Structure 1
Amino acid sequence: MVLLSTLCYSQDDFVKSRATYYGSPDCLGTPKGACGFGEYGRTVNDANVAAVSCRLYKNGTGCGACYQVRCTNPQLCTDDGVNIVVTDYGEGDNTDFILSPRAYSRMAQSDRASELYAYGVVEVEYKRVPCRYSGYKLQFKVHEHSKYPNYLAIVVLYQAGRTEILDAQVWQADCKEWIGMRRAYGAVFDTTSPPSGYVSLRFQVSGGAGVYWVEAANALPGNWEAGVAYESDVELE
């Protein structure tokens, strides 16, 4: 079986590219990112976040992925660079990464961030790395655009490991079957026919163990509310 996440290079190899940064008055992420993370996208991973190119964004499947990004100028940059979380889509000047100002500065050696900023665009190399969120399990946030009880949109938060969410389904107890949810955009899945009572969800995940389904029984209460994130017992690796 060919895994859906298979790339033409090993995930342990660094890939050469370019990176820049976006303007932000507080150096944090943006709540308007294409992944639909909202405020979570501003501060997750200590605001070390990035918008990525089409080939890494993957029509939203790449949302929540983590990468190690390091610039290749040894006079200015550290060997380790920075680990970022994908929260947005964006391209410019042949870049794969548009980093938050905080993430961009953390590629630099101590006290040399201002010199790195002056470059604007730098040569980098990157590789996929596992996401790690100590103390957090997978959360399902009811998107602010949801309208109880007729329209439910969810976004997955704290997606650990080297995983990608390929598909989402909701359990319809009346007909005793899983019904597909639409990927509305980014990491947001929705349905115009949410079940009454507790909401059970399952997700098709691509990761180190291949492609598999992860189920979250009673992931949302029957009286779910827009804007609220509900923690699950699910842990991805």
Structure 2
Amino acid sequence: MGFSLKLQYCLVSVMVLLPAVCYSQDYFVKSRATYYGSPDCLGTPSGACGFGEYGKSVNDANVAGVSRLYKNGTGCGACYQVRCTNPQICADNGVNIVVTDYGEGDNTDFILSPRAYARMARPDTAAHLFAYGVVDVEYQRIPCQYGGYKTQVKVHEHSKYPNYLAIVVLYQAGKSEILSVDIWQEDCKEWIGMRRAYGAVFDMANPPSGDISLRFQVRGSAGLTWVQAPNVIPKYWKAGVAYETDIQLY
């Protein structure tokens, strides 16, 4: 987008419980939001999450760049309900967005696509909302829902067969967050961690030959778990192709 979510015992308990409390957010947080310029009102394919064209049109282009909610890329793909707070021009339910980019605005948590920004407004009041430029909002984390889609693993366009493999996960449902990705090394019978290159993109030089199995460390409704996707990427993979898995991350 270009703009450049007994004392020792007590202390330990707070450190352990706080991430769970933050993750299971089911209340609205006050913040601010703005929007970015777009000739077609859609998202941007060059977002920092690395989603490409998916980041432009996913969720009917109701997408956003975020700052602190970006979480060094872990926040990519998260869904939020965002609603502005002016009762004269703002719709009660606001808009549900997907995080596809990193962006910093005027003390804002969200920089929305024009389409998403307009959908916070009541009928016939979108022009008034755009005139503000920056508005007070409240938001909460919600489950992502992709009817008819299972989780997909896309071979990123920067990949170079067979010496460099980069991947990004698409259609990540629920409130899950992918913390890390491992790739199975058949010759040494062990899982090897991929590098988080940037955003939601994980990569590895000299990946294994043959069909590729992955496992994802996921923080979701079941807590911290590992989810495996056997043979998800075929031996003769191609850059830019998305391969459907038999799993769904929640």
- The aligned residue for residue 125 of structure 2 is 112
Change (3 A) 1:165 1:8: closer
Find the aligned partners of 1:188 and 1:8 in 2 and give their Cα distance.
24
Hey, what does 1:28 align to over in structure 2?
Answer: 42
SS at match of 2:247: coil
TM-score, normalisation: structure 1: 0.97
Moved over 4 A (4+): 7-10
Partner of 2:147: 134
Alignment counterpart, residue 192 of structure 1, candidates 188, 205, 212: 205
- Alpha carbons of 1:43 and 1:115: their partners in 2 closer, same or farther (altered >3 Å)? same
Once residues 4 and 34 of structure 1 are traced to their aligned partners in structure 2, the CA distance between those partners, rounded to angstroms, is 27
1:220 paired with 2:210, answer no
Which of structures 1 and 2 has the bigger CA Rg? 2
Q: Which amino acid aligns with 1:74?
A: P
User: Does 2:85 match 1:45?
Assistant: no
Aligned to 1:13: 27
- Paired with 1:3 and 1:37, the residues of 2 have a C-alpha distance of 32
Amino acid in structure 2 at the alignment position of 1:165:
I
User: How many equivalent pairs are there?
Assistant: 236
Q: Aligned partners of 2:235 and 2:18: how far apart in 1? A: 34
Alpha-carbon offset, residue 6 of structure 1: 2.9
Structure-2 residue corresponding to 1:177: 190
**Conserved 8 A contact 1:219-1:230:** yes
CA contact (8 A) 1:3 1:211 kept: no
Tell me how far 1:236 sits from its aligned partner. 1.6
Partner of 2:117, secondary structure, is helix
For 1:3 and 1:39, locate their aligned partners in 2 and report how far apart those are by CA, in whole Å.
37
Gaps in structure 2 of 5+ consecutive residues: 1-12
Instruction: Give 2:85's aligned residue.
Output: 72
Quote the Cα distance in structure 1 between the aligned partners of 2:214 and 2:23. Answer: 33
Paired with 1:117 and 1:22, the residues of 2 have a C-alpha distance of: 11
Query: For residues 158 and 137 of structure 2, what CA distance do their matches in structure 1 show?
Result: 37
Q: How does 1:92-107 map to 2 (within 5 A)?
A: 92-107=105-120
Residue type at the aligned position of 2:240: G
Asked if the contact 1:3/1:206 (under 8 Å) is kept, the reply is no
Mark the CA change 1:90 to 1:170 in structure 2 (over 3 Å): closer, same or farther. Answer: same
2:69 to 53, 56, 77: 56
- Matched residue SS, 2:232: strand
The TM-score normalised by the length of structure 2 is 0.92
Q: How far apart are residue 9 of structure 1 and its match?
A: 8.2
Secondary structure at the aligned position of 1:213 is classed as strand
1:75-94 paired onto structure 2 within 5 Å: 75-94=88-107
- Whether contact under 8 Å (1:137, 1:235) holds in the other structure is yes
Q: 1:83 aligns to what SS in structure 2? A: strand
Q: CA deviation at 1:193?
A: 2.5
> Structure 1 140/4 Cα, relative in aligned 2: closer, same or farther at 3 Å?
farther
Cα separation, 1, equivalents of 2:155 and 2:17: 30
- Structure number with the higher helix fraction is 2
Is the 1:4–1:206 contact (alpha carbons within 8 Å) kept by the matching residues of 2? no
Equivalent residue number for residue 5 of structure 2: none
Q: Deviations 1:34-82 (Å, cap 9, x if unpaired)?
A: 00000000000000000001x2000000000000000000100111000
Residue 34 of structure 2 aligns with an amino acid whose one-letter code is: T
Q: Aligned in 2, Cα 1:196/1:39: closer, same or farther, shift over 3 Å?
A: same
Percent of aligned pairs with the same residue?
A: 78
Letter in 1 for 2:233: L
Once the 2 structures are TM-superposed, how far is the Cα of residue 92 of structure 1 from its aligned partner? 1.0
Q: Answer yes or no: is 1:235 the counterpart of 2:248.
A: yes
Q: Write the distance in 2 (CA, Å) between the matches of 1:3 and 1:167.
A: 21
* DSSP-derived class of the 2:69 partner: helix
